[in-house]
Every structure is written in C-alpha cells, then in structure tokens.
Amino acid sequence: MSDRGAAPAPDKRGWLPHPVLSVSLVLVWLLLQNSFDLGNLLLGFVLGLCIPLWTSGLWPKPLRVRSWVAVLRYSVMVIGDIVLANIDVARLILFRRASELRTRWVSVPLDLSSPEAITVLAGTVTMTPGTVSCDLSADGRYLLVHCLDAPDAEQIVREIKTRYEASLKEIFE
C-alpha cells in the first residue's frame, strides 16, 4: 500500500517544540512592553509556550547546528562587517559622486545545499550595507546580489564565498 495519501506524522517534540523560540518570545514580549511585572511575565510565558506549539506543524524538521562556537564566530564576524560596511557606505555617499559609483548585479554561485544556510547567507548579504540579496535561482544554486559599489565582481563573489559561505558550511552542513 502507498503512503501518498497518508497524513503527516504527528509532531513528537512535546510541549516545548522550540525552546529557543519560546525564550526569545518571552524576552521580546518583555522588551516590547517595557515593563517587567508579573502580568507581563506570565503573558510572555503563555505566548512563549503557545506560539511554538501552534506553529510546530509548519517547521519541517529541527534545525541541526553542527557547531555553536562557529555560530558565535560567525555572528561576531558579521557584526564587525556590518559596522565596517556602514562606514564604507557613509564614505561613498558623502564623498563620492553618484556618477562615480560602480553599481552592478553579481551572481554568486552557491555550494550550500541547506535551505537554512542559504537563508542565513541571503540575510547576511542584505544586512551588510552596500549589498542586497535580490533573488535565488530556481535550482537554488545562484544568489543574485546587487552591490552599491563593486569595481570587481569576481572579488565580491570571492569575498562572499570565503567569508560567509565557508563559515555557514561549517555551521549547517
């Protein structure tokens, strides 16, 4: 007999399917309320328990991170890159004529296969001032990136692949 029409297996992750999400929701709720009192704390806990339960069927599988140390290294590297890119973009905007900017589209070939890793890479590129990830090819092998000032497209590709993609491979694959 075929499993084609079978219903998906029930979620076996228990009453706390995504503990990091639960804790994050409680903290974000408290920060948004700007008040740390018992009522807000209890409501934050209710949201932190209910939202992950309600959405657990939408999560395809638990995220597997190979190295949390690599996640920390990647996060610090990206934060540093964002700060430096802000300075570079400010310098470009303030001291260079718009006609002198070398904007271009760059197609970055991807070696990543994990959807989570590709999503983090696209988000990283977008969060870094001066670049925006705009499209992912249908086969998931190329990321289209717009660069504010890129005199050398190959250098941009090398930088994205060596700085970000290699680290994400270490984390997710």
Domains of the chain: 1-62 (no CATH), 68-172 (3.30.70)
- For the cut 70, the answer to whether the pLDDT of residue 35 exceeds it is yes
Q: Phi/psi of residue 91, each to 5°? A: -65, -40
Q: How far is CA 2 from the centre of its chain?
A: 37
pLDDT at 168: 96
Structure token digits, residue 151:
């005199």
Average pLDDT over residues 152-165: 95
Q: CA-to-CA distance for 143 and 125, rounded, in angstroms?
A: 10
Q: CA-to-CA distance for 47 and 39, rounded, in angstroms?
A: 12
- For the cut 70, the answer to whether the pLDDT of residue 11 exceeds it is no
- For the cut 70, the answer to whether the pLDDT of residue 10 exceeds it is no
pLDDT at 8: 47
Is the Cα torsion angle 20, 127, 57, 112 positive or negative in sign?
A: negative
The pTM of this model reads 0.72
Task: Please give the single-letter amino acid code of residue 117.
Answer: A
88: phi > 0 → left, psi -120 to 50 → alpha, else beta; which? Answer: alpha
Q: What share of the chain is helix, strand, coil (3-state, %, to 5)?
A: 60, 10, 30
pLDDT at 2: 45
- For the cut 80, the answer to whether the pLDDT of residue 133 exceeds it is yes
pLDDT category at 12 given cuts 50, 70, 90 is: low
pLDDT at 17: 79
- For the cut 80, the answer to whether the pLDDT of residue 61 exceeds it is no
